[in-house]
Structures are given as structure tokens and as C-alpha cells.
Structure 1
Amino acid sequence: ALIVDLLKVHYPASIDNLAREKALFEGPGPILLSTLDETDLTYLLSGSDRSNSQVEFGANQVILVRSMQDKEKLPPEIQASNAIVMTVPQAKGLEA
């Protein structure tokens, strides 16, 4: 909702002004990563013990990237994992 609010402020003619959505239950917010190196990203996703851990994603988790080129730039550990990686247009309409 915060991102939608920012879009309304900065691009008022580009977004429909609808009532704010209300979730049925409180869940975790998205994690936005702008600049991390491969080591930081792998550490964040797999935990502190990378030697015994692998990146694991559940059915309700996805990595959103800006483009297919960005998808190809992901670390090998992420590419080889079971992580679902989509561009924003690919994920459109899949919101729960």
C-alpha cells in the first residue's frame, strides 16, 4: 500500500484512485533490495551458515526482477535453486 501511495503522489495521472485494500490477516511486507553484492544476497536468502544451507523458497515466495537480463545476472546459487524468478509484468495478476 505504501508503494501505491507513493505512485499516487508522484504520478497522479498514471494510477487509478481506488479505495485502499485491506488484507484479511497481517502478513510480512515485501523485502526490497536495491543494491547488494552476490555474497550479501546469498547470505540474506540462505542464512548465516552457507556451507550447510541452500536457498529455499516456498510456494508463496518469488524474486521479482526488472527484466530478463536482470534474471540472468542473479547469482548461480539462486539460478540453481527452486526459487521462482519473474519479471514484474510476468507476476502481474498473481497477487494473492
Structure 2
Amino acid sequence: MSWDEFAACAGQDGEILAQLGEDTVRDLANKWDSLSDTAKAALGVAARWGGEWLVGALAAIGIAITDAAAVVLAGASLGAVMAVIMDCYDKL
């Protein structure tokens, strides 16, 4: 499967994911399942606080994203975006 098929599966969230880039999406998907519920909740809180907070929280678990990508991701519901990533990941 291809990045284009993945983005098509993601629908409107595909635009957000396209701004994150394929490598970042793969990193998120690979690490998300291994995170505790507490860590996932902490990332959600960081996303609500904004891009800079989310960049730091993701860096703490080993995922590097740009400030611009963090602003985009923080503007979306992190939980919803992760649900889309995990639902469509088999197409990536």
C-alpha cells in the first residue's frame, strides 16, 4: 500500500497527516500502542496546551516533529487523529 492510499483512507484527517509526513506518522503508529494510558493522556493534554508543549512531549518518547507539524496536530484532537492512523495504518 502507499502513502496516497493511507491519506485517502484518513479522509479529512489525511491533510493533517500529510503535514506531519510519512516518517512521523509511522513513528507515531509504532510507538502509540506501546504507550501506557497515562502517557497517551499526557500527550493529549500537551496537544491541548499547544504546539510547543506537544513537541516536548513527543520528544520525550522519542518522536521528533517540527513546530509547524505540532501546531497542526495540536489543533486537531490527538485521540481522533491517532484513531485514524491506527485504523488506516494497514494501508501504509
Query: Same fold by TM (over 0.5)?
Result: no
Compare CA radii of gyration and give the structure with the larger one. 1
Higher relative contact order (CA 8 A, sep 6+): 2
Structure with the higher strand share, 1 or 2: 1
Give the TM-score of the pair, scaled to structure 2.
0.25
Give the TM-score of the pair, scaled to structure 1.
0.24
